[in-house]
Amino acid sequence: MKTSYTVCGICEQACGLKVSSENNQVLKIEPDKENTFSWRDYCIKGAKAHLALTHPKRITKPMKRVGDHYVESSYEEAISNIGSRFNAIIDKHGANAVGSYTGNPNGFNFGSALFQAMFLDAIGTESRFWVGSVDQNALHVVSENLYGNPWVSLQADIDYCDYFLLIGTNPQISGMCWIGYSPDGWKRVLARKDAGAELVIVDPRTTECASKASQHISPLPETDWALVLAMIKLIFDNNWDNAPSQHLHGLATLKSHAQSADLNALSQLCDIPLDTIYRLAEKFAKAPRAMAIGRTGVSQGRNGVLALWLVQALNLITNRVEQEGGVYYAVGVLDLLAAGDKLFPKSDAVSRVRGNKNVAGSHSLAELPDEITTSGEGQIRALIMNSGNPVVSGPDGDKLDAALSQLECFVVIDQFQRESHRHADWLIPGDHFLERSEINPLLQALSPAPRAQISRAAVELPEGMRYEWEFLRDLTINMNKPFVMGKQWLNPVVKATVKLANWTGNKSHGFSPMWLSRVLVKSGGMFKWKDIIKAEHGLGSVDTRPQFGALFKKLSTANGKVNIAPEIFVQTLVERLNEKPADTSVYPLQLIGRRRMKMMNSWSVETSMSGMKEQEMSGGTIEINIADGEKLGIIDGQTVTVSSATNQLQAKAKLSKDIRCGVAVMEHGWGHRTFDPKTGEGTYNGGVNRNILVSNTDLDPLSRVPRLNGTRVNVTSAVSGINA
Ligand SMILES: Nc1nc2c(c(=O)[nH]1)N[C@H]1C(S)=C(S)[C@@H](COP(=O)(O)OP(=O)(O)OC[C@H]3O[C@@H](n4cnc5c(=O)[nH]c(N)nc54)[C@H](O)[C@@H]3O)O[C@H]1N2
Ligand SMILES: Nc1nc2c(c(=O)[nH]1)N[C@H]1C(S)=C(S)[C@@H](COP(=O)(O)OP(=O)(O)OC[C@H]3O[C@@H](n4cnc5c(=O)[nH]c(N)nc54)[C@H](O)[C@@H]3O)O[C@H]1N2
Ligand code: SF4
Ligand SMILES: [Mo]
C-alpha cells in the first residue's frame, strides 16, 4: 500500500490530506495529522474526492463533437484541429475573437492556471472572463482603490481577537476562506467565544453560524453598507475613532460624508433599530482587539464594493488593521502582489459592447453573452472554458447557454461534461488533484502565515491522458505563438524538452509549471526549494505570529498611503444615499443563497453525495418567512412559481422562522445536467437552476458582479405555463 501526502484541491481551506492507495486506486482519504499547517480541517468533499477519478462519466480522452454526439479522439487530433481553427479565427478577426472563461477550481490547479494565462498572453487576447466576477471582484476593486493593488487581501488574526463582526459569511459550512483562509478558522472563532470574545454574525438568515453567535443581526440584503456607514458615523460622532492617520489619505472626506448621513434613514434602509447599531458601534470601537470581515454575502450584490469598502474603513478608523486580533497582510511563500499582477496583468481593456473597464485583468461574466452574440470587430467566435460551469453558477444561465451555442469553436477542459459544456466542440479531460504533483504558490501565499507544500500525486493519470498544462502548452506551440514571455525563439527549446520528456517517459523533463514554481518560490525568499522537496507534510506553521505592518509597507498607491475615501466610491455612496426606496410591489422579496456542506458550487455532487437518492440530492426549495408565506398565500410544501424581472421557475416552498421577512433563500448550483459524452446516456438532472432568475445587466456598478444575493422576486402559488 502506498501513502501519499497532498493538499486538497477542492476549496481554499487547502487541507493537508493523507491518501492511501494500492494498484493505482485510492482506498482512503484521511486528514494528514502531521501537516504542519492545516491538519485540523477536513470534510466529506475531500474524503470522497477520489470517487471522481473512476466515475463512469469522467472524461479521460479528448472527445470530439460529431453532429449531436461525441467520439473519442486523440490529443494530436484535438490540438491540431483546435489550433488551426483558433489560428484561422485570429488571422481573420483578431486575437480578441478567441475568448476564455476560467472557473473556480482552476485556482486550485496551479499548472493549468499558469499555462492557461501563458496561452492567453501568447495569443494576445483581452477577451478574458473569470469566476471572480461572480464572486470576489468587489474585493479586488476595493483593494485596487484603497491600496493600489487588486490582489491585497487581509487575513484574520483569529486567536487574539476579542470581537468578531462577521458579515455575509457562513464559515461552519463554507470554511473560513475567501482569498485567504484560516485553518480550522470557525472552530477557533468559537474557541475565542468560549474564552469570552463576542461574536456578531450579520446575515438575513439564522444560519448555522448565526445560531452560535453572541448576537445575530439580520439586515435586509444589499444594505450592509448602510449598517456599517451608520456605525462609522456613530464612531466619529462619539470620538471612539483611533485611526492610524499617518497611513491614511482622505480621512476627512470619509468623516464628513459619514457625519452628514442621516442615522434614521440608514437604520430604515437596513431595517436594524438605531439603538442596536449604536451598541454595535460602541462595542466594536471599544473592544480591545476586533475585526470586521465581509464576504460573499455582501460581495455578490449590487452594493458589494460599497459594503466591503466601508467594512475596511471601519477596521481602519478603529485601528484594527495590522494589529493583533485584527486583520493583516500576510507575507507568504511569494510576493503575491507582484505575482498577481504578472499572472493576471492589469489592463486598460474595456469591454467591447458595454464599454466597462475590466477588473484584475478580466471582464465580467455577465457581459460574456453580449460579447459572443453582438457582431462587429472583436466579437468572440471561439472560447476556451476551463473548470467552470457558468450557465449554472453565473447569472442568467439561459442567455449564456444560448450564446454558447453560437460559437464557431468551443473548447472545454473539465473532468465532466456539465450544463455549460453541452455545446462544446471539444471536451478535453480535466486532471484531478489526486493525480497532480505540484505546488500552488499563489494559493499558499494566501495563508495566514508562511506555508509551502508540494502535493504528491496519489495515483497516475488514466492511460493516455495528459495534464491540462500539457495540453495548453502543446496547443500554444502548435499554434506557433510565443509560449514563454512573448519570446518566439523559446518555442523550439520548449519543444525539445517535450521531445525529451516523451523519449524518457518522464513528464517533468518537459517544460512544466514546476519549473516556474521553483523560480517563483525562490523569488519569494521565504523557503529553500530543497527543504520544500524534503517536507512531505509541508513547511511553515499556522502558529507563526505575523509581523504586523506589512500592508503599510506594500502600498502601491500614488501617495504611498491608504486611500480611505476613493472618489468613485464616495460618488456611488452619495447616489445610494439619495436613491428612492426600491419598488417592492411587483417583486416583494429578495433572493439570497445558501451552500451545502456536500457541494462545491455546482459540483462534487457526483462524489460527496454518491449513494444518495436523486430527490435527496437536488435543490429546488425556496425558503421564506412564515409571515411572508401568509401574506403571499403560500403554504409549506406547495409548489410555487418564483419570478423575477429576468425569468421564472418552479420550486417547493418551505416556510421558516429562520429567514427574515422580505427575503427568500434558494441554493445555487442545481439545475444542472451531467452528461456522459461517451455513451450519450444516463444524463443526471439535478433540481432547479435559481440563477436563471438573476439579471446579467443589473449589476454592482463598481465591480459588475451580478445580484446573486439580492435579486428581487415574487413567489406565487400559480404554477401554470412555466418551463421549469
Ligand atoms: N446564486 C449563487 N451563485 C453563485 C454563488 C452563490 O453564492 N450564489 N457562488 C459563486 C461562487 S463563490 C463561485 S466561486 C462560482 C463558481 O462558478 P464556476 O467556477 O464557474 O462553476 P462551478 O460550479 O464551481 O463548476 C466548476 C467546474 O470545474 C470542474 N472541475 C473541478 N475540478 C477541476 C479540475 O481540477 N480541472 C478541471 N479542468 N475542471 C475541474 C467541475 O467539474 C465543474 O464543472 O459560483 C458562483 N455562483
Ligand atoms: N460546502 C461548501 N463550502 C464552500 C463552497 C461551497 O459551495 N460549498 N464554496 C466555496 C467558495 S467558492 C467560496 S467563495 C466560499 C464562500 O464562503 P462564504 O463567503 O462564507 O459564503 P456563504 O457560506 O455562502 O455565506 C454567505 C452568507 O451571506 C448571507 N447573505 C446573503 N446576502 C446577504 C447580504 O446582503 N448581507 C449579509 N450580511 N449577508 C448576506 C447568506 O445568507 C450566507 O449565509 O465558500 C467556499 N466553501
Ligand atoms: S473540500 Fe473539505 S477537505 Fe477539501 S480543502 Fe475544502 S474543507 Fe478541506
Ligand atoms: Mo467562490
Q: Are residues 520 and 559 in the same domain?
A: no
- ∠ CA 389-344-139, nearest 5°, is 75
Q: Are residues 93 and 220 in the same domain?
A: no
Q: How far is CA 517 from the centre of its chain?
A: 22
- ∠ CA 65-70-71, nearest 5°, is 105
Q: How far apart are CA 464 and CA 507, in angstroms?
A: 13
**Three-state DSSP class for residue 408:** coil
Residues 387 and 430: beta-carbon distance below 8 Å = yes
Dist. CA 592 → ligand 2 center (Å): 10
Instruction: Specify the length of the chain in residues.
Output: 724
pTM above 0.85, yes or no: yes
Q: Is residue 542 part of a domain?
A: no
Q: How far apart are CA 289 and CA 304, in angstroms?
A: 25
What are the 10-residue block averages of pLDDT along the chain, 724 residues in total? Answer: 97 96 97 86 94 96 96 98 98 98 97 97 96 97 96 96 98 95 95 98 98 98 98 98 98 98 98 98 98 98 98 98 98 86 78 94 96 96 98 97 98 97 98 97 94 97 97 98 96 96 92 94 94 96 94 95 98 97 94 95 90 74 97 96 97 97 96 88 81 98 98 88 46
> Residue 702 belongs to a domain with what CATH number?
2.40.40.20
Q: Are residues 104 and 144 in the same domain?
A: no
Determine the structural domain holding residue 249 and report its residue range.
Answer: 138-328+552-573
Q: Is residue 131 part of a domain?
A: no
Q: Is residue 57 part of a domain?
A: no
Q: Are residues 408 and 382 in the same domain?
A: yes
Q: Are residues 178 and 301 in the same domain?
A: yes
| Domain end among 470, 505, 534 | 534
> Residue 187 belongs to a domain with what CATH number?
3.40.228.10
> Residue 68 belongs to a domain with what CATH number?
3.40.50.740
Amino acid identity of 21? S
- Listed residue (603, 72, 102) closest to 384, CA to CA: 102
Q: Are residues 397 and 493 in the same domain?
A: yes
Q: Is residue 656 part of a domain?
A: yes
pLDDT at 687 (0 to 100): 84
pLDDT at 615 (0 to 100): 61
- State how far the alpha carbon of 567 is from the alpha carbons of 250, 302, 303, 310, 702, in Å: 9, 18, 16, 14, 12
pLDDT at 720 (0 to 100): 56
Q: Is the CB of 308 under 6 A from ligand 2?
A: no
Q: Are residues 69 and 194 in the same domain?
A: no
Which ligand places an atom closest to the C-alpha of 421? 1
pLDDT at 681 (0 to 100): 82
Q: How far is CA 509 from the centre of its chain?
A: 33
Q: Is residue 265 part of a domain?
A: yes
Q: Is the CB of 14 under 6 A from ligand 3?
A: yes
pLDDT at 367 (0 to 100): 98
Q: Are residues 210 and 267 in the same domain?
A: yes
CB-based contacts of 630, cutoff 8 Å, min separation 6: none
Q: Is residue 387 part of a domain?
A: yes
Grid coordinates representing 213? Answer: 453567535
Dist. CA 296 → ligand 1 center (Å): 14
Q: Is the CB of 705 under 6 A from ligand 2?
A: no
Grid coordinates representing 377? Answer: 470587430
Please write the tens of the pLDDT for every residue from 4-29.
Answer: 999 999 999 999 999 999 999 999 99
Dist. CA 31 → ligand 3 center (Å): 10
Q: Are residues 160 and 219 in the same domain?
A: yes
Q: For residues 521-542, b (16+ Cβ closer than 10 Å) or e, as one string?
A: beebebbeeeebeebbbbbbeb
**Number of domains into which the chain is organized:** 4
Q: Are residues 318 and 400 in the same domain?
A: no
Farthest-apart Cα atoms in the chain, separation: 74
Dist. CA 667 → ligand 4 center (Å): 14
Q: Is residue 333 part of a domain?
A: no
| Domain end among 14, 31, 52 | 52
Q: Are residues 517 and 609 in the same domain?
A: no
Phi, psi of 675 (to 5 degrees): -95, 165
Q: Are residues 189 and 242 in the same domain?
A: yes
Residues 587 and 664: beta-carbon distance below 8 Å = no
Q: Is the CB of 61 under 6 A from ligand 3?
A: no
Q: Is residue 722 part of a domain?
A: no
Please write the tens of the pLDDT for every residue from 194-231.
Answer: 999 999 999 999 999 999 999 999 999 999 999 999 99
